[in-house]
Chain A
Amino acid sequence: EDQVTQSPEALRLQEGESSSLNCSYTVSGLRGLFWYRQDPGKGPEFLFTLYSAGEEKEKERLKATLTKKESFLHITAPKPEDSATYLCAVQAWGDSNYQLIWGAGTKLIIKP
């Protein structure tokens, strides 16, 4: 069964303290892995798509990487405005290849 697990569930950091969020996945064949950011009371905001192992993408203080089993979202010198829930989703090859399978998210809190 296709599955996505994110860890930790919650992460509290001081402003400027770099860290990483993990997204482990089990799919029959990975078509793509997506990272989203969700603020309270809002819809998920698209961040990155990764397609193959070894791929990396960056946006401001965020960098996403992908291996054959997991993805990491690295946050460098975070600011309070980076506080949000970060969601990971995968899309698998197959008949229902448009479906996204979601992790439960990591709630990131950056304290000033």
Chain B
Amino acid sequence: NAGVMQNPRHLVRRRGQEARLRCSPVKGHSHVYWYRQLPEEGLKFMVYLQKENIIDESGMPKERFSAEFPKEGPSILRIQQVVRGDSAAYFCASSPALKAGFYEQYFGPGTRLTVT
């Protein structure tokens, strides 16, 4: 009964490099959400994806950040030309398909990105 998996758990990048964060949702979940958490702060919504579709990216910076959830494989959050301010914990969550009701989101362990 695998939950949400994220890798890597820790990632160190120098300024200007690219960071790729991967998320495999709970088996059977078709909705993926990415959040960012800064120390001592709450979670901030970044992007919501379904398979092959970005539904809402309103919380994601327009430059340098992109996300995808392909038909096959994990969801990827990509940060180009990282800066020190990108240092944070990035969490992925998944939920089943939303029908008449809605479902709680289940979180992965996070990827801690450090930009040096």
Contacts and interface: CB of A to CB of B under 8 A. Distances in A.
Given A43-B109, A104-B42, A96 B56 contact: yes
A45 interface: yes
B31 interface: yes
Nearest to A47: B104
Nearest to A36: B107
Nearest to B59: A99
Contacts of B112: 41
B106 interface: yes
Contact of B104 (A34, A96, A103, A105): A34
B42 A103 contact: yes
Q: Interface size for chain B: under 10, 10 to 19, 20 to 34, or 35 or more residues?
A: 20 to 34
A77 interface: no
Q: Is the interface of B mostly helix, strand, loop or mixed?
A: strand
Nearest to B105: A100
Nearest to B44: A102
B106 A99 contact: no
A91 to B, nearest CB: 7
Given A96-B56, A98-B31, A99-B56, A32 B102 contact: yes
14 contacts: A31-B102, A36-B107, A41-B110, A43-B93, A43-B108, A44-B107, A46-B105, A98-B98, A99-B48, A100-B45, A102-B42, A102-B43, A103-B42, A104-B41
Interface of A: 31-32, 34, 36, 41-46, 49, 87, 89, 91, 96-100, 102-105
